[in-house]
A and B are shown apart, each in its own frame.
Chain A
């Protein structure tokens, strides 16, 4: 992810250590100076997200990363990024919670990630990778999305994604000088009038107008930036809905079930906000049973219910707290619950 960020043109990283994502800042601390970039280990997550705000105001491609408790601390700044309409890429390698929780892989922050997270009416674009290659590709893409929409982009993965090793094909190294210009950035009032970037709007009607402007932007994002994967759903009697690590487990479970002749498919949202509701709803025209599998106590299931609007049965299986079930466990539940059949 760190290398992908650098190849996308990120030259500034500000962060604070927390497990399970320390490999990312460690790589950045070594690699960024090699490409003329700057790494700063801040005194806290709060400081680091505010450094991100400063660097973003100055027009740079900038990134921070953390894990669940640290992301809670960053929410103040993420809300400001939303209100100030500043681009930035934020990585959350989720772990078990609430509170200090543990450092095991979990999907405990889905609500926080997809509902804004901090205070105020705003959204972050949320991308959920499920492989090493996708960690790389979505990180690269995230910088373009952030700049294009002037909006924070959150990459939501977990301790499993953060710790695994897989071969990756890297995208090309961008020339930072040739990235799209940002005339709104604070660069000093040279040859132009001075300008300011603020989120304070005291007049309620002007604030309302700013909110509606943000909402129009979010609608545009919702129209253009839906991402998902459908795997063996064409003839499926049952579709598992899962993202990230859970989707990876589910995909293996689908293959096992298919091996037993059971018609099971997988629907994997890649953009968690905007959520691929329409694609799921279209699927429900034919499929009447959905199995939501999450590494939490049931969060994305609310979006599935919203998408399906009662048009199909929704079954939930979740493992919160950092427990990661294996594919056999999922395929056994699938066969027992939906096909009344015991498989190994």
Chain B
């Protein structure tokens, strides 16, 4: 019988520890597939965060080096400067990259570090039990915004990807979601493009992935996906935010 679907070689045969309906397991697979399809398993080095994906090295079958909370982009800078021909990516949640690691991320982007940040945005601190994240929506209830997030008290959800697009060192930034088959395909395409642009040495790349966290949203997996598709996208619109290769093509067309 012909095998039409299997586990990518770049994923270890370990059962995920993630909650049912969580976007991480889908996204791990997507990243692993892209690495395998690009034939990059021998040059890929991943940097897992502190957060739900802290155990990512139990799943990705490529070299992995653990970073302190928020420091992924700085650690990846050190790796990539020593190994400029390798594919270096971080895998970070919203608290990691958009709160405690904001400075490291902004400056890595501004230096045009040839790395890729995979930014999983689920609008909540998952591993610590559902506290308010930098990307928690206005009005959204969390364990530290019990009556809902209020801008005068808690500030606004942070649009990190749009901020990073302003930096001159960033080359490619796209926001996708993993709430539907179409979204997963778009995510895979975006990650492939980001990795290719990294290997071409064009600059900093980031893919922000809106991801459901049913456990902390206190919803069913389907409801959580629907919430991402109808509520989250109002604050975090999907699409390409910056692509210097597209603008070059556009310029060529003129």
Contacts and interface: CB of A to CB of B under 8 A. Distances in A.
Contacts of B202: none
A50 B74 CA distance: 6
B192 interface: no
Contact of B66 (A38, A60, A84, A190): A84
B154 interface: no
Nearest to A199: B66
B74 A186 contact: no
Q: Range of interface residues on chain B?
A: 35 or more
A44 B102 CA distance: 12
Contacts of A189: 41-42, 44, 61-63
Contacts of B74: 42, 46-48, 50-51, 54
A27 to B, nearest CB: 19
Contacts of B45: 58, 186, 188
Contacts of B133: none
Interface in A38-59: 38, 40, 42-44, 46-48, 50-59
B43 to A, nearest CB: 5
Given A60-B82, A62-B78, A196-B57, A50 B71 contact: yes
In this complex, the member of A43, A57, A190, A200 whose beta carbon has the largest number of chain B beta carbons within 10 angstroms is A57
A80 interface: yes
Interface in A228-245: none
Interface string A174-218: 000000000000111111001111111000000000000000000
Nearest to B60: A194
A120 to B, nearest CB: 12
Contacts of B41: 189, 194
Nearest to B103: A43
A55 B74 CA distance: 10
Contacts, number: 126
Given A42-B74, A188-B44, A58 B66 contact: no
B142 interface: no
Contacts of A51: 74-75, 77-78, 81
B64 interface: yes
B67 interface: yes
A197 B66 CA distance: 6
B67 A40 contact: no
Given A51-B74, A189-B62, A200 B68 contact: no
Contact of A77 (B65, B68, B76, B83): B68
B96 to A, nearest CB: 13
A48 B103 CA distance: 12
A293 interface: no
Contacts of B80: 54
Contacts of A40: 77, 81, 111
Contacts of A186: 45, 63-65, 79
B54 interface: yes
18 contacts: A12-B81, A38-B82, A47-B71, A47-B77, A50-B68, A50-B104, A54-B75, A55-B79, A57-B79, A58-B82, A58-B83, A80-B68, A186-B63, A186-B64, A187-B63, A190-B42, A196-B65, A197-B65
Interface of A: 12, 14, 38, 40, 42-44, 46-48, 50-60, 62, 76-77, 80, 84, 186-191, 194-200
